[in-house]
């Protein structure tokens, strides 16, 4: 699996938000928001020789059962609009056969944990081809967080769960 190379090439939306990419314009992440950061040892995707280097701004997070890509600084960035900040989110699984699956079994929710707000459920999940030869499939969704704050995002694929926390400026 050549997941790492594809992830780096695919997720350039965060670069569209120049303010979010400029550390001088970012507010500090509050202590009450325990964002998910790279830890040692780093997760290595199946078929990869080594982990994605967090110094490049991203890392893979999860287990063979379910994993995704996160920003190394714990922030959610993307395209800002009147309804929130949105970005693509790809989810992977070792030996997945998602290309043959209909409807897709991945359910992703987001809940603001520093304020009492309703949970968000991502209404649409699709797939994308990945890797140098585009022979592998990942689940793809557009995740839009509506307001600044501390968010817990949870993916559930056939009772395999993966949760992480991000800060949205």
Residue 52: predicted pLDDT: 86
Q: Which of 154 and 27 is assigned the larger pLDDT?
A: 154
Q: How far apart are CA 40 and CA 33, in angstroms?
A: 20
Q: How many CB atoms lie within 10 A of CB 36?
A: 16
Is 12's pLDDT higher than 50?
no
CA–CA separation, 73 and 94 (whole Å): 26
Judged on CB neighbours under 10 Å (0-12, 13-18, 19+), 67 is buried
**What's the distance, CA 13 to chain centroid?**
12
Residue 100, pLDDT score:
74
Please give the full DSSP string across the chain, using - where no structure is assigned.
Answer: --HHHHHHHH--GGGG-HHHH-GGGPPPPPTT-------SSPP--TT-SSPPPGGGTEEEEEETTEEEEEETTSB---EEETTEEEEEEEEE-TT--GGG-SS--EEEEEEESSS--PPEE---EEEEEETTTT-EEEEEEEEEE-SSEEEEEEEEETTEEEEEEEEE-
Is cis: bond before 41, omega within 30 of 0? Answer: yes
| pLDDT reading at 7 higher than 50 | no
Between 166 and 127, residue with greater pLDDT: 166
pTM score, whole prediction: 0.85
Q: Is pLDDT larger for residue 73 or for residue 5?
A: 73
Measured from the Cβ of residue 91, the count of other Cβ atoms closer than 10 Å reads 23
What is the predicted pLDDT for the residue at 120? 96
Q: What is the pLDDT of residues 36-95, one digit of tens each?
A: 999 989 999 888 878 888 889 999 999 999 999 999 999 999 999 999 999 999 999 888
């Amino acid at each position: 699996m050549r997941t790492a190379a594809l992830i780096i090439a695919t997720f350039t939306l965060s670069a569209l938000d120049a303010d979010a990419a400029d550390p001088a314009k970012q507010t500090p992440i509050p202590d009450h928001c325990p964002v998910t950061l790279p830890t040692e040892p780093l997760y290595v995707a199946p078929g990869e020789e080594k982990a994605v280097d967090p110094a490049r701004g991203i890392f893979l997070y999860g287990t063979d059962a379910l994993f995704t890509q996160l920003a190394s600084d714990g922030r959610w960035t993307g395209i800002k609009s009147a309804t929130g900040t949105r970005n693509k989110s790809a989810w992977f699984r070792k030996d997945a056969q998602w290309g043959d699956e209909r409807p897709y079994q991945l359910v992703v929710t987001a809940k603001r944990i520093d304020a009492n707000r309703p949970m968000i459920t991502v209404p649409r999940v699709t797939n994308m081809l990945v890797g140098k030869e585009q022979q592998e499939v990942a689940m793809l969704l557009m995740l839009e967080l509506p307001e600044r704050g501390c968010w817990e995002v949870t993916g559930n694929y056939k009772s395999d769960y993966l949760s992480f926390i991000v800060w949205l400026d």
